[in-house]
Chain A
Amino acid sequence: MNTSDLIVVGGGLVGTALAYGAARNGTRVTVLDEGDDAFRASRGNFGLVWVQGKGFGMTPYARWTMRSAAQWPQLAEALNTDTGIDVQLRQPGGFHFCFSDEEMQAREARMRSISDALDGNYSFEMLDHASLKARLPGIGPAVAGASYTRMDGHANPLKLLRALHAACRHHGVRFAQGSRATRITPQAGGFEIEAGTATWHAPRVVLAAGLGNRELAPQVGLFAPVQPNRGQVLVGERVARFLDHPTTYVRQTDEGTIQLGDSLEDVGLDDGTTADVLSTIARRGVRSFPVLESLRLVRAWGALRVMTPDGFPIYQASTQCPGAFVVTCHSGVTLAANHAFSIAPWIAGSAGDGAPAGIESFSGDRFLNGNETFQHAH
């Protein structure tokens, strides 16, 4: 007989961050995770802990992102303490390159809009080519300029996933591997969850199953109309330290490999790569840093983002089935700190923790208005 307080459906970056946050406060947690060949957005991650440009048209998201980035060092330290794993958080500030004057203007307008909505509590710089070159001497002539904020950074997403898993186990979280949840039935005192041949019971359940949330959410009176959105990434060989600052499309990992991205494609459940998109990514990389022309590529991959219609997360507690929650986002690295420190206590019902302020903005019900169409801007 299962004795969990909370079942987390999904063992990716979102699920394990939630499980960790709950478990370290004493909640007994079980995580139900799929098998080795699942889509696993968590393994296809660029690793940015990224603030700038986010929340355009949705100020709560800008605030939410800034909060997570500010709390990320605490998460990194807690994980290191609990597991000995250094997830290589670096927050030196980041750059978003623009390749034309039009792009620069559009970027500035976007950043200005976010800043104004935050009453100016959002410090950023627009750098023209010369100013940018003074900071990043390796940029190519085709780079018109960039936006820069001090808030941006990056971490090693795979080490983060591993650290979260290890930290969960450290705090007694039970993992059920190869357990794809198919049915959730509300019962007296909680929920029954069928996964494979096993059934699990707990008073509380949070759906963190990525694309799987779509089918599961309605079973607990929630709405999570997520769709896959593909991003392709190129991975280059290890190189001596070349770039300390993350940029939106090019970063160097702590291990020295160079990563180049990305794309936004609506192609259904296809996580393959295509030569034309890879070529475009390669061209942008070479235009950004001409020395990269000789970089040897080792691997290319595609991964499916879990995308809501407007691109913003869903955090919602079910009123129909109290004790059930849904969590979905496509920035599992950036938001990991919030998930562990703000969302997890709320979900676990830890004494005194109500819903995080402003969480209603992220309700999935916002998509129930059939008259409204949505567009996601990455």
Chain B
Amino acid sequence: MSNERCDIAIVGAGPAGMSAAIIAARLGASVVVLDEQRGAGGQIYRAITDAPARRVDLLGPDYAAGRSLADAFAASGARHLTNAAVWQVTPEGAVHYLRDGATSTLQAGRVVLCSGAMERPFPIPGWTLPGVLTAGAAQILLKSADVVPAEPVVLAGCGPLLYLLGWQYVRAGVPIRALVDTTSMEDYRRALSHLGGALAGWRYLKKGLSLMRVLKRAGVPFHTGAENLAAEGDDGVEALRFTAGGKAHRIETSTLLLHHGVVPNTQFTWSLRAGHTWDDAQLCWRPEADAWGALDVPGIHVAGDGLGIGGALAAAQQGELAALGAMHGLGRITTAERDKLAEPLRAALREHLRIRPFLDALYRPKKANRIPADDVIVCRCEEVAAGAIRHFVALGCDGPNQAKAFGRCGMGPCQGRQCGLTVTELIADARGVTPAEVGYYRIRPPIKPISLGELAGAE
């Protein structure tokens, strides 16, 4: 149990966190980076620091690019606290964390939150069955343990991460029974209006197209415009049903990997009562922040996918910008110095974000896969179905907190991570108002589980 101080505390050692640490340390700040994993990398570069060459090659060049960043971070002079679970960040800059079974508090001059993104919940019938995982989970299994599906696997949903995973599986010799794509002609049409941005981000486009080529050449069966997805099974998933091309399909599988985008992890920012806006292009909540990632809670910055989905390269730029903002806030660099260092970062950030509107439009998750039918479980922890929540709305619950009080959705261990977005959108849809009007769960600490004994031992 210790209490220490530092200039800048960074929560999360992914691309945003590592980049922020590197520049802050170089500018002379005392920096502490806290991360719950045992090595740097976050999720996108998970296990990069001790990945063997053959795995790095398998995962592809985007993953490999994380290596130099991780090396620079290791050499930066920033203190890296591994296996540290941050359970509360206060507006006053106190970072409470759990490590080795003991709680400690780090008092920081500035805090940069880089807790990244989570998979968007995918509430279809049967999504809670054993054997149904997210594409992100499958990537983590691959990156951290060389574990892949043992039998032909079904990938379902949409978005670059899904296709990337398929590409990685093809390279690894993992048979893919089907790629069930929910992208429809309407999505392509909608995305066309953002083609300018896509062409400006042509490197991303080129990469995406070549991914698809590899999948098609490998003979992966594609189904497009898929709707009415449902996982079937008793003790585990046994098949995926869906309709596509006017036909009903049923594909047997014991492993189903779902993905329709990632969303900012907003547990910390909501717990700080920072302002958030509903982003209708990305269908998620984003913390309100200025050009330096500073929240309306003074002294707290956010960088990376936690600010809004932009990918690893954008996250790195945002991490540096947040660090510059924090250093300036601490009076360690002048406005002129800050702005000069920021210039190339802003230019690079703009470039990396050019493709976003196109991707957001093309891979917009389907309403039916975000706002499910009555009998589909919405809150996995407390097993509350969509119909129950609609019933609470009929009883007068206007928002998620009243619905929570009435039906326990959001009260389980995940504290709304898997159901929050669904509940917000479901209530908005039932009431006929916007998600912005409905709001989100009140998020409270502990952001990570802590035992009574561990808390009792704290200051």
Segment of A203-211, A276-284, A309-317 in the binding face: A276-284
In the complex formed, the residue of A with least CB distance to B90 is A275
Residue B96 at the chain A interface, CB threshold 8 Å: yes
Instruction: Take A279-B458, A283-B456 as given contacts and tell me if A301 and B444 are in contact as well, using a CB distance cutoff of 8 Å.
Output: yes
Chain A residues near B411 (CB, 8 Å)? 298-299
B401: contacting residue among A11, A43, A166, A175, CB under 8 A: A43
Q: Are A37 and B456 closer than 8 Å at their CB atoms?
A: no
Segment of B36-44, B225-233, B321-329, B402-410 in the binding face: B402-410
Cβ < 8 Å to A, chain B residues 230-255: none
Residue A57 at the chain B interface, CB threshold 8 Å: no
Residue A234 at the chain B interface, CB threshold 8 Å: yes
Chain B residues near A282 (CB, 8 Å)? 452-453, 455-456, 458
Q: Are B395 and A165 closer than 8 Å at their CB atoms?
A: yes
Q: Are A275 and B459 closer than 8 Å at their CB atoms?
A: yes
Total chain B interface residues with beta-carbon distance under 8 A: 37
Chain A residues near B406 (CB, 8 Å)? 158, 161-162, 165
Q: Are A286 and B438 closer than 8 Å at their CB atoms?
A: no
Chain A residues near B397 (CB, 8 Å)? 36
Segment of A1-9, A105-113, A143-151, A289-297 in the binding face: A289-297
Instruction: Take A178-B398, A299-B444 as given contacts and tell me if A285 and B405 are in contact as well, using a CB distance cutoff of 8 Å.
Output: no
Chain B residues near A294 (CB, 8 Å)? 451-453
Complex Cα distance A177/B395, Å? 11
Q: Are B444 and A36 closer than 8 Å at their CB atoms?
A: no
Complex Cα distance A308/B130, Å? 53
Considering residues A35, A158, A282, which has the most beta carbons from chain B within 10 angstroms of its beta carbon? A282
Q: 1/0 per residue B442-459: CB within 8 Å of A?
A: 101110011111011011
Residue B208 at the chain A interface, CB threshold 8 Å: no
Instruction: Take A165-B395, A166-B395 as given contacts and tell me if A295 and B96 are in contact as well, using a CB distance cutoff of 8 Å.
Output: no
Instruction: Take A162-B406, A177-B396 as given contacts and tell me if A275 and B94 are in contact as well, using a CB distance cutoff of 8 Å.
Output: yes
Residue B413 at the chain A interface, CB threshold 8 Å: yes
Q: Are A237 and B459 closer than 8 Å at their CB atoms?
A: no
Q: 1/0 per residue A167-181: CB within 8 Å of B?
A: 001000001011000
Complex Cα distance A295/B439, Å? 31
Chain A residues near B451 (CB, 8 Å)? 293-297
Q: Are B408 and A255 closer than 8 Å at their CB atoms?
A: yes
Residue B166 at the chain A interface, CB threshold 8 Å: no
In this complex, the interface size class of chain A, counting residues with CB under 8 Å from chain B, is: 35 or more
Chain B residues near A260 (CB, 8 Å)? 452
Q: 1/0 per residue A131-165: CB within 8 Å of B?
A: 00000000000000000000000000010011001
Chain B residues near A299 (CB, 8 Å)? 411, 415, 444-446
Chain B residues near A286 (CB, 8 Å)? 452-453, 456
Complex Cα distance A275/B451, Å? 13
Residue A300 at the chain B interface, CB threshold 8 Å: yes
Complex Cα distance A237/B451, Å? 10
Q: Are A300 and B446 closer than 8 Å at their CB atoms?
A: yes
Chain A residues near B455 (CB, 8 Å)? 234, 278-279, 282, 297
Complex Cα distance A286/B455, Å? 10
Chain A residues near B456 (CB, 8 Å)? 279, 282-283, 285-286, 293
Q: Are B453 and A36 closer than 8 Å at their CB atoms?
A: no
Residue A115 at the chain B interface, CB threshold 8 Å: no
In the complex formed, the residue of B with least CB distance to A45 is B405
Shortest Cβ gap from B231 to chain A (Å): 26
Considering residues B105, B408, B444, which has the most beta carbons from chain A within 10 angstroms of its beta carbon? B444
Residue A273 at the chain B interface, CB threshold 8 Å: yes
Complex Cα distance A234/B398, Å? 26
Shortest Cβ gap from A174 to chain B (Å): 10
Cβ < 8 Å to A, chain B residues 70-97: 88, 90, 94, 96
Chain B residues near A165 (CB, 8 Å)? 395-396, 406
Q: Are A37 and B458 closer than 8 Å at their CB atoms?
A: no
Chain B residues near A169 (CB, 8 Å)? 395-396
Shortest Cβ gap from A2 to chain B (Å): 18
B452: contacting residue among A234, A255, A272, A301, CB under 8 A: A234
Chain B residues near A279 (CB, 8 Å)? 455-456, 458-459
Residue A236 at the chain B interface, CB threshold 8 Å: yes
Q: Are A35 and B399 closer than 8 Å at their CB atoms?
A: yes
Complex Cα distance A177/B427, Å? 14
Complex Cα distance A255/B400, Å? 20
Shortest Cβ gap from B441 to chain A (Å): 10
Shortest Cβ gap from B396 to chain A (Å): 5
In the complex formed, the residue of A with least CB distance to B397 is A36
Shortest Cβ gap from A32 to chain B (Å): 12
Residue B412 at the chain A interface, CB threshold 8 Å: yes
Shortest Cβ gap from A241 to chain B (Å): 18
Q: 1/0 per residue B53-65: CB within 8 Å of A?
A: 0000000000000
Chain B residues near A33 (CB, 8 Å)? 396
Complex Cα distance A282/B444, Å? 16
B449: contacting residue among A11, A177, A292, A298, CB under 8 A: A298
Q: Are A273 and B459 closer than 8 Å at their CB atoms?
A: no
Shortest Cβ gap from B427 to chain A (Å): 9
B398: contacting residue among A35, A278, A301, CB under 8 A: A35
Complex Cα distance A301/B438, Å? 21
Q: Are B439 and A36 closer than 8 Å at their CB atoms?
A: yes
Chain A residues near B400 (CB, 8 Å)? 36
In the complex formed, the residue of B with least CB distance to A237 is B413
User: Mind listing 24 A-B residue pairs with CB under 8 Å?
Assistant: A11-B396, A35-B399, A36-B397, A36-B399, A36-B401, A43-B405, A162-B405, A169-B396, A236-B452, A237-B413, A255-B408, A275-B94, A276-B459, A282-B452, A282-B453, A283-B456, A285-B456, A293-B452, A293-B456, A294-B451, A296-B413, A296-B449, A297-B446, A299-B411
Residues of A within 8 A of B (CB): 11, 33, 35-37, 43, 158, 161-162, 165-166, 169, 175, 177-178, 234, 236-237, 255, 260, 272-273, 275-276, 278-279, 282-283, 285-286, 292-301
Residues of B within 8 A of A (CB): 88, 90, 94, 96, 105, 273, 395-402, 405-408, 411-413, 415, 438-439, 442, 444-446, 449-453, 455-456, 458-459
- 19 more contacts with CB within 8 A, not counting A37-B401, A276-B459, A282-B458, are A11-B396, A33-B396, A36-B402, A36-B438, A161-B406, A162-B395, A162-B406, A273-B444, A279-B458, A282-B452, A282-B453, A282-B455, A283-B456, A292-B453, A293-B452, A294-B452, A295-B453, A296-B450, A296-B451
